[in-house]
Copies of this chain bind each other. A is one copy, B any other.
Amino acid sequence: MKEKLTLIKVGGKIVEEETTLYKLLDDFAAIEGYKVLVHGGGRSATKLAERLGIESHMVNGRRITDAETLKVVTMVYGGLVNKNIVAGLQARGVNALGLTGADMDVIRSVKRPVKDIDYGFVGDVKQVNAMLLGDLIAKGVVPVMAPLTHDGEGHMLNTNADTIAGETAKALSALFDVTLVYCFEKKGVLRDENDDDSVIPTINQVEFHQLVADGVIQGGMIPKLENSFEALEAGVSEVVITLASAINEQGGTRIRK
């Protein structure tokens, strides 16, 4: 039987403010068994870009990444945010290892083809190499993954953290019994968006289609859940959508096949 592994994805907001970061690090350190952390960092990137006089352009929630912006996100995601988390986890007894997709060729991407929009140096994940990663995890190392990959031709690529979490969870599910946890600004998927306590405790694929048909689930939550079902189909055991402050609790919405 495969051993349990928890892969937590947290957005930039959580890891960029000291109070929420420290709480997250404490909670993450308390998770038993094998684990992986995937983080964002968009707010810090926007702030640094501003200070450098580089304009941030977002389209559909994605950052247009020109050469200057790529330098900014490489510095912020791969350097500042990642190493801050790694040092914080080491202080809590977690043997963290900060990674981008370029490190040990863990995640290789292709530069997003230009259709209507030129996103610039943005990567679409092509391949996750989980072998060395799996070895390290089995030795007690805890990967901390920044939202950056590479193209195998010498270029870093800005890459969506949700995608990195999903693709890494899928690849690791060949070696571990993986629970993928998406931290979210709400307690879970809500039946009524105006009622924070109306969390739907579990959703399977049949229920999902019904909830979409009924208009209960809409907007950005639809692709999030579609990605979750895709991860489950690819071998991930469970996907949880919950508050970052509740990763050690039984709450949130559990997505199951």
Interface residues of A (CB under 8 A from B): 48, 51-52, 71, 74-80, 82-84, 86-88, 90-91, 95-98, 100, 102-105, 132, 135-136, 139, 141, 148, 150, 152-156
Contacts and interface: CB of A to CB of B under 8 A. Distances in A.
A83 B78 contact: yes
A27 to B, nearest CB: 16
A141 B132 contact: yes
Contacts of A80: 71, 74-75, 78-79
B152 A84 contact: no
A173 to B, nearest CB: 22
Contact of A77 (B77, B79, B139): B79
A98 B103 contact: yes
Give the residue among A83, A105, A141 with the most B Cβ atoms within 10 A: A83
Contacts of A100: 83, 86, 98
Contact of A51 (B52, B96, B104, B136): B52
B104 A141 contact: yes
A88 B141 CA distance: 25
B74 A84 contact: yes
A49 to B, nearest CB: 11
A76 B103 CA distance: 17
